[in-house]
Each structure stands twice: as structure tokens, then as C-alpha cells.
Amino acid sequence: MKLLLCEECNDVRKLDYEVTSCKCGRVKARYLRDGWHAEHNGLGFLLGMNNSSLGGAIHGFRQAAEVGNDMVNQEPSPFVFDAWVMTGNPRVAINPDL
């Protein structure tokens, strides 16, 4: 899953195939047809999130809630998931015309 991040309004939004913009309208981005690559207007940042990693963290949270264990101090934490800044990644193009 890809998200856009605007440092001006601190908004984070999930990308779609239609152009998505942050709350203030400064950062714009969208998925390309293949659903894998994306383009943005060159402002702000695009973030990538590993969907299966996120699913694992949510599953870990639910399991912990069922047994009443907050697992805050467990290493490795079952609540951590992979996310990264994708700006500059070859799967992300800049299109100032968005």
C-alpha cells in the first residue's frame, strides 16, 4: 500500500487510481494502471507499507487483546510492521502536472 505524506498539513492519505491529494492540496499522487507503480507531483513524500506485515501486526494485536496481554515489552514486538519512504524509488515517478 502506498500513502502520500504532506509536511505542510501533516496529512497522510492512501493512494488510489484517481489523483489523491492531501488536505491542503499541496501533495498529489496516484497509482498507475499496474497498481504497483505510482506517480506524484514531486512535493511531500510517498510512503510504502508492507500489507502482509501490517496484517501480521494487526493479527498480533488481536491475539494479545484476546488474552489480555499488552505485549508492550515483548521483543520482537508483534505490533511492528514494515513501512518506508518511497520518494526516489524507481517505482515512483514524478509528474508535476498532477
The residues that touch Zn ion, with contacts defined as CB under 5 A, are 6, 8-9, 22, 24, 26
CB of 32 to Zn ion, least distance (A): 22
Instruction: Give me 57's grid cell.
Output: 501486526
CB of 28 to Zn ion, least distance (A): 10
Please, which residue, 14 or 59, has the CB nearer to Zn ion?
14
CB of 27 to Zn ion, least distance (A): 5
Q: Are 50 and 82 in contact (CB under 8 A)?
A: yes
Please, which residue, 9 or 94, has the CB nearer to Zn ion?
9
Please, which residue, 29 or 86, has the CB nearer to Zn ion?
29
Nearest to 86 by CA among 34, 49, 55: 49
- CA–CA separation, 32 and 73 (whole Å): 40
Q: Which residue is nearest to Zn ion (CB)?
A: 6
- To 5 degrees, how large is the angle CA 83–CA 9–CA 61? 35
